[in-house]
Each structure stands twice: as structure tokens, then as C-alpha cells.
Amino acid sequence: MEFGLSKNHVRNQKVQERIQTALDWLDARSTEELLAEPIGAKKIADGVELRFQSYDTRDYATMNYETHRKHIDIHYMIKGAEWVRWADDGDAEPVSDYDPEVEIQFFGHPKTHSKALLTDRHYAIFDPSDLHAAHGIVDGKVGHNHKLCVKIDVD
């Protein structure tokens, strides 16, 4: 999640341009246009892939956290609401090995975490060092979301 001291900011110009490309693409489309996109992956530029999703939210107790090594995740809520949580890498025990083909590793719950409510047309950016868990139920009720996860290559 982008929060911290400015001296720790490490995004290079190419990565920042990829993030802006994704956000500009999303801003240029209506909610209806985004909802009409097929579920699955869509590459929109070099190093920028959109993954459209449709799912029900879940209870926090059933979630694992995840992290990546070669990409930034932008969780962009098209329609719906969920809690997203994050913590610093190293603050939780791994529950799986790193899978380089899927580019993911799962972790148990960290000792402490932060959270934000992700609602229509809002996003959260998670860097490779961020443990993050999404799809969290809101107000104790399962809801249905249409969201996309933008994968931004950091290489």
C-alpha cells in the first residue's frame, strides 16, 4: 500500500507510467463499460494487465494474505464493497512456498494490519513488499463484487 516516508519511495519512471496508463484507461470508461468486460485477463499495454473478477466477499478468518515479487497489484473496485487489508512483508508466517509460475506466495495473518474500505471506482495499490488480503465482507454480510486486479510489472 502506498504509505510511508518519501525517502522510501522506490517506483521508477517506467513503473509509474504503467500505473498511470492503467488508471487513465479505467478513468476513460464508464462503470457500465467496465461491467461489460468479460471475466478474465486483458493486456492493455506493455507491463500492464487487467484481470476482471466477479466473486462473493469472505470472512476475514478464512483468508490468507498474499504477496508478489515481480509486480504491483492495483485492486480496483468496479461495483461493490470490500475490506482490503495489508501489512509489512515479514510480519506473518508463510503458509506456502513462492510459486514463480503464478507469481504468488501465501501467508497467514500478520500480527497487526491496516485496512481500508474499497468501494465503487476506488483503488488500492499494493507493492511487492506488501502482504495483502482482499475480498473482506462488510458489515458482517456477504456481498457480490465486480472488481479487477491490475498487474503492473516492476521489471
pLDDT per residue as tens digits for the range 85-139: 999 867 799 999 999 999 999 999 999 999 999 999 999 999 988 999 999 999 9
The answer as to whether 1 is a domain residue is: no
Residue 3 is predicted with a pLDDT of: 53
Residue 6 above 90 pLDDT?
A: no
- The answer to whether 48 and 150 have CB atoms below 8 angstroms apart is yes
CA distance 136 to 128: 20
The answer as to whether 142 is a domain residue is: yes
Least confident of 9-13, 80-84, 95-99, 121-125: 9-13
Give the SS3 label for residue 8: helix
Look up the pTM and report it.
Answer: 0.91
Beta-sheet strand order (sheet of 40-45): 40-45, 48-56, 144-153, 71-79, 123-126
By residue range, what is the domain housing residue 33?
Answer: 6-153
| pLDDT: which is higher, 58 or 3 | 58
The cell for 111 is 500480527
Q: Give per-residue pLDDT as tens, 21-71.
A: 999 999 999 999 999 999 999 999 999 999 999 999 999 999 999 999 999
Residue 1 above 50 pLDDT?
A: yes
The answer as to whether 63 is a domain residue is: yes
CA distance 120 to 103: 27
The answer as to whether 24 is a domain residue is: yes
CATH number of the domain at 66, please: 2.60.120.370
The answer as to whether 124 is a domain residue is: yes
The tally of CA atoms less than 13 A away on the side-chain side of residue 62 is: 8
**Structurally, how many domains does the chain consist of?**
1
